[in-house]
Amino acid sequence: MEVTAQGMPYEAFKDNEYIESLVKELQENGTNVVVGSLDKLINWGRSNSLWPLTFATSCCGIEFVSLGAARYDMARFGWEVARSSPRQADFIMVAGTIVHRMAPVLRRLYDQMAEPKYVIATGACAISGGPFRDSYHVVKGVDQIIPVDVFLPGCPPRPEAMIYSIMQLSRKVKVERFFGGVNRQQKQQEFLREHPVEGVNDSAEFNTSAPEAPVTDKQ
Partner 1 sequence: MATLNEIIAKICPAATVAEVDGAPMISVDDAHWHELAKALRHDANLEMDYLVTIAGFDHVESMGCVYYMMSTRHNTNLGVTVLATGDRERPVLHSVSDIWAVAGLYEREVYDFFGIIFLNNPDMRRLFLSIDWKGYPLRKDYDASPNINPVPRDNERQSDFTTKWTKDAEGNLVSEQVEVFAPDDFVVNIGPQHPATHGVLRFRTAVDGETIKKIDVYMGYIHRGIEKLNEQQTYAQSLPFLDRMDYFSALNYHHGVCMVYERAAGIEVPRRAQVIRVMMDELSRIASHCLFMGTFCMDLGATSMLFYTLRVREQILDILERTCGARMSFNYDCIGGVMQDLDANFQNDVKALLKVLPANIKEYKKVFVGNVIARNRMEGVGVLSREDAISYGVTGPSGRASGWACDVRKWRPYSIYSDLDFDEVVLTEGDSMARFKVRLAEIEQSARILEQLVDNIPEGDIQAKVPKVLKLPAGQWFQIVEGCRGVFGIHLESDGGTKPARLKYATPSMPAAGVVDHLTRGEKIADLITIGGSLDYIVPDMDR
Residue 122: strand, helix, or coil: strand
**Distance, CA of 12 to CA of 15 (rounded, Å):** 5
Please, which residues have CB within 8 angstroms of residue 106's CB and are 6 or more apart in sequence? 94, 98, 142, 145, 146
Q: State the nearest-atom distance from the C-beta of 166 to partner 1, in Å.
A: 18
Residue from 27, 31, 54, 58 binding ligand SF4 (CB under 6 A): 58
- Under rule CB under 8 A, residue 156 binds partner 1: yes
Query: Taking contact as CB under 6 A, which single stretch among the options 23-31, 117-125, 141-149, 201-209 is the one that binds ligand SF4?
Result: 117-125
When the beta carbons of 5 and 69 are compared against partner 1, the nearer one is 69
Which residues between 75 and 114 bind partner 1 (CB under 8 A)?
84, 86, 96-97, 99-105, 107-109
Residue from 19, 99, 110, 130 binding ligand SF4 (CB under 6 A): 130
When the beta carbons of 58 and 135 are compared against ligand SF4, the nearer one is 58
State which amino acid sits at residue 69.
A
Q: How many residues does the chain have?
A: 219
Residue from 5, 38, 41, 69 binding partner 1 (CB under 8 A): 69
Give yes or no for a contact between 207 and 201, defined as CB atoms under 8 angstroms apart: yes
- Under rule CB under 8 A, residue 209 binds partner 1: yes
Which residues between 158 and 217 bind ligand SF4 (CB under 6 A)?
none
- Under rule CB under 8 A, residue 52 binds partner 1: no
Query: Taking contact as CB under 6 A, which single stretch among the options 47-55, 57-65, 159-167, 191-199 is the one that binds ligand SF4?
Result: 57-65
CB atoms within 10 A of CB 167: 17
The separation between CA 139 and the C-alpha centre of its own chain, rounded to angstroms, equals 17
**What are the Cα distances from residue 21, in Å, to 11, 28, 166?**
14, 10, 19
Residue from 5, 75, 114, 131 binding ligand SF4 (CB under 6 A): 131
Please, which residues have CB within 8 angstroms of residue 87's CB and are 6 or more apart in sequence? 112, 113, 114
Q: Which residues bind ligand SF4 (CB under 6 A)?
A: 58-60, 96-97, 123-125, 130-131, 155-156
